[in-house]
Amino acid sequence: MVVPTVPTPGEQPRVAVVVVTWNGAHLLRQCLDSLRAQTLPHDVLVVDNASTDATEELLATRYPEARFIRLRSNTGFAGGAQAGLDAITTEYVAFLNNDAVADPDWLRFLVRALDADPSLAAVTSRMLLASDRRVNNAGGALTNWGVGYDRGYGAPDGPPYDQSVDVAAFSGGAAALRVDDAKRVGGFDATFFLYYEDTDLSWRLGTVGRRIRYVPEAIVYHQHSASADQTSEAFAFYNQRNQLLMLVRNAPASLVAGAFLRFLVVTAIGLVRRRSGHTDRLGHRLRVLRAVARQLPRRMRERRQIGRTAVVSRRQFCRTWLGN
């Protein structure tokens, strides 16, 4: 049995690791065993999105050192991550997907990077695909159109992903943040439910002049899509809706207008050409547009508030990160 790395008597951990889960008891053992093996003392908080499986029993019997919060309903990763951020009192908070396994020094390298550079608001990990050890995520990136993607996805592990660089966004699947920075800009938007909540928070951190760094020494192995089906209609809906909402909140007006125009053009093309994918179906695209339209008044108010607190303009942020 692996003995948990715990603080010495009287020592308060400086970092808490939040694991968000939903019906993931079959995944949690490997994840939590890897946290037990960490070389840096830490707290563990499991946020459960109203699971109906044996998650609570597993934690009570096998991982009594982990703090457990059970939410009343499934709030998605975004809601669970924010609940975790609200509940912890440490200087740093780390997030690890329930379908990921961390190297023993993962947390130590993340915290070391934050300690070394006070201008960093977040550090993100070298996520490798558990299946073939190719790159899953080497930091978040943005296309010229403001679409978020996994930097390096599918590439062989090695150069240039063995070098530490600043990146546009952290991956919520394996990252560490300064709690004060995250809370100062409002934390995760729980209404995003799934996808883009990390990129949205990263964008807001960037506009207040804070940096995000990729730390290749901090390695995790990820069972990609083990906890979420990326071929599902739900994935398509939240992915497209949240990308548009993120841009409304954060991006220059020209980029927002371009995103909506492209969405409408593709929707119109779908009236002529029948396609089978979720993202191309007319009903799906109209559902996304209705969902965005309902939220526009509130999101525009948030946009104005974000603009008032920014020290880096929207255009400057885009010049730095779009297309990189």
Q: Summarize pLDDT for 40-54 with one digit per residue, the tens.
A: 999 999 999 999 999
Q: Which residue has the tokens 């008891």?
A: 25
Q: Supply angle C-alpha 307, 114, 134, rounded to 5.
A: 95
Query: What mean pLDDT value characterizes the chain?
Result: 93
Indicate whether 2 pLDDT > 50: no
What does the pLDDT read at residue 283?
Answer: 86
Question: What per-residue confidence (pLDDT) applies to 134?
Answer: 97
Task: Render pLDDT for 245-256 as a digit per residue (tens, 0 to 9).
Answer: 999 999 999 999
Neighbouring residues of 44: CB distance < 8 A, sequence distance ≥ 6: 16, 17, 19, 32, 35, 63, 65, 66, 67
Instruction: Please report where in the chains the tokens 């592990």 appear, as a residue.
Output: 157
Backbone angles phi, psi at 102, to 5 degrees: -100, 140
How sure is the predictor about 183, in pLDDT bands with cuts at 50, 70 and 90?
very high
- Regarding predicted confidence, which is higher, 319 or 270? 319
- Give the pLDDT confidence score for residue 4 in this predicted structure: 45
Reference 299, options 261, 258, 243; nearest CA is 243
Q: How confident is the model at residue 232 (pLDDT cuts 50, 70, 90)?
A: confident
Domains of the chain by start residue, with CATH:
15-222 (3.90.550.10), 233-321 (no CATH)
**Overall pTM > 0.85:** yes
